[in-house]
Structure 1
Amino acid sequence: MKSIKYTGKLSDGQWDKVAYILSRTTRLDLTQHEYRAFVEAVLWVILNRKAWADIPPHFGKPKSIYTRFYRWNENALWHILARRSIHDQELHQMLAQINDRCDFLNRRREFRSQDRIDSRQENSATLANHQNGVIAQQESTPDPSH
């Protein structure tokens, strides 16, 4: 996918499409300016390949933006936006890049979760083997009182 340099401003027409899609799929009050600034902040981070901490101050607090980005990812809102914006190629391409980042984060989260499960299972198996070894050793050691 071609990289797009993002300056931090959706056209009014693009925002209207995003707001329309969100209004049909969520209960968000999209008349609030903060949602447009939030979407623009996410686009700025993803399309410019920047860290969340580098978000320009006029977008808002980086931690708040990342937290909302994460929640929208968990609720598949980015996927919905990309899937339903196919009639505007530029907007669709921008939202598809957000989806790519979301997919990466989701795979990483699944990998880490599986890694923790595997680690717990290994720890349980090691503990069980150790306990079995101690029991086996105790059973094979003659009782000195007999």
Structure 2
Amino acid sequence: MSDGQWEKIGFLLPGKASDPDRSGLDNREFVKGCLWVLRSGAHWCDLPEHYGKRKTVHRRFSCRCHAGVWERIFELQTADRDNQYLGRVVS
């Protein structure tokens, strides 16, 4: 995930450095871990450790699903007609 891509979506993810277990500092790695699972088709239990504890990442993923965060991110990304990554996924 490039810095530009992160700048476009990072503000949509809850959490800040002062919140325990909701650190905004690791949100980028959290998103990369979620993308790894979704792209690979692997189970959450196979998530590499450098993305965080698998149960924690899965719980955060589920909470953001229920809060509509992923939907807002997807809407933002699909509104960007110059999003080359999305073009490869949709095509």
Interval of TM-score (by shorter of Structure 1 and Structure 2): 0.7 to 0.9
Partner of 1:72: 64
Instruction: Mark the runs of 5 or more structure 1 residues left unpaired by the alignment.
Output: 1-9, 97-146
- Asked if 1:43 corresponds to 2:38, the answer is no
1:11, CA displacement in angstroms?
1.1
Matched to 2:60, the amino acid is: R
Q: Decide whether aligned partners of structure 1 residues 81 and 39 sit closer, same or farther in structure 2, where only a CA change above 3 A counts.
A: same
Give matches, 1:92-103, under 5 Å: none
Contact 1:45 1:52 in 2 (8 A): yes
Structure 2 gaps of 5+ residues are 18-22
Identify the match of residue 13 of structure 1 among 4, 8, 14: 4
Aligned-residue RMSD, C-alpha: 2.5
- 1:28 corresponds to which residue? 15
**Quick check: which has more Rg, 1 or 2?**
1
Answer yes or no: is the 8 Å Cα contact 1:82–1:92 preserved in 2. no
| Structure 1 segments (4+ residues) deviating >3 Å | 91-94
Partner of 1:128: none
- 1:45 to 1:37, Cα distance in 2 relative to 1, 3 A: same
TM-score by length of 2: 0.76
- Pick from 46, 50, 55: which aligns with 1:58? 50
- Give, in angstroms, the shift of residue 38 of structure 1: 0.5
